[in-house]
Amino acid sequence: MSRKKPMISPVRWTFLVLSLIVLLVLAVVFFKGGRRELIKPSVDVSPVEVSGQEDLPPKNKEIVLFFPAEEDSLLHPEKRRISAGSSVAGEARQAVEELIKGSAQGFLSPLPPETRLREIFITRDGTAYVDFSKEFMEKHPSGSSAELSTIYSVVNTLIYNFKPIRKVFILVEGGEKETLGGHVNLSRAFTQLDSLIAQ
């Protein structure tokens, strides 16, 4: 190390410059990256939220799932029991997972069986965000009718069974997708489509 000459050693200089760069990068990331804010699950305020139901005996609740059938292009109801008492989001999660498992009455499977439900949350305005794993898109056969059956089996099931849910927004791997397989628009929330329900 030299005596008094350099005010700051070269090591310090590089340290300073590096920290400056890091700060700048942080600033850029903060201001440019912050605009495209993802919907946070923290807004999940479902009105029927009940906490600490551990002491209550697990109750069953009957819901209606909608499945596509071989004989026509409509969605057919199938009753299913899920455990009640958790939050709306918790019940909705069970409903979608039952849809993924498929029908017990021989209806068609609306979702690829490999699909995982990553997350489901309900915002204050009644929109349920349903976040599927990538298999939801990748294993889907594509095509207008197929896409409509898939989407509306989820949408109609959720809106039909859960009062607080008025719209359903479908995400894949945590993000918004343009379409499912080139046809049905995923960049807007879905409302119930009664014309697809049998009877």
Partner 1 sequence: MSPDAGSIPAASTILGSRRTLKAFNERRRYRLIFLPLFFSCLVLILVASRPVIQISTRDYEGYSRVLLTLPSNLSCSLEKSDAFLQVRLRSRTVFELRQEPFESRLVKSFSWVKGSDFFGLIIELRHGGFRYESFRVERRNQLAIDFYETAFEVPPSKEEKAAAEPPRKENIPDVGEARTEGASDRGVSGGTKIRTIVIDPGHGGLEVGAKGKFGSLEKDITLAISLKLQSLIERNLGFQAVLTRDRDIDVSLDNRAGVANNHHAELFVSIHANSSLRRNASGSETYFLSLNATDEEARRLAYLENTTAQLEKPLDNENKDDIMMILWDMAQSAYLKQSQRLAEIIQEELNTLLGTADRGIKQAPFKVLTAVACPAVLVEVAFISNPDEEKKLTTEAFQEMIAQAIFQGIARYVKLIS
Gap between the Cα atoms of 110 and 102, Å rounded: 7
Instruction: Give 118 or 183: the residue with its C-beta nearer to partner 1.
Output: 183
Is position 73 an interface residue for partner 1 (rule: CB under 8 A)?
yes
Edge-first strand listing for the sheet containing 175-176: 117-122, 127-132, 167-172, 175-176
Give the contacts of 55 (CB within 8 A, at least 6 positions apart).
none
CB atoms within 10 A of CB 165: 24
Give the contacts of 175 (CB within 8 A, at least 6 positions apart).
38
- Least separation in angstroms between residue 185's CB and partner 1 is 4
Site string for partner 1, 142-181 (x = CB under 8 A): xxxxx-xxx---------------xx----------xx-x
Among 11, 33, 54, 59, indicate the residue that binds partner 1 (CB under 8 A): 11
Q: Which parts of this chain interact with partner 1 (CB under 8 A)?
A: 7-9, 11-12, 15-16, 19-20, 23-24, 27-28, 30-31, 68-70, 73, 108-110, 141-146, 148-150, 166-167, 178-179, 181-191, 193, 195
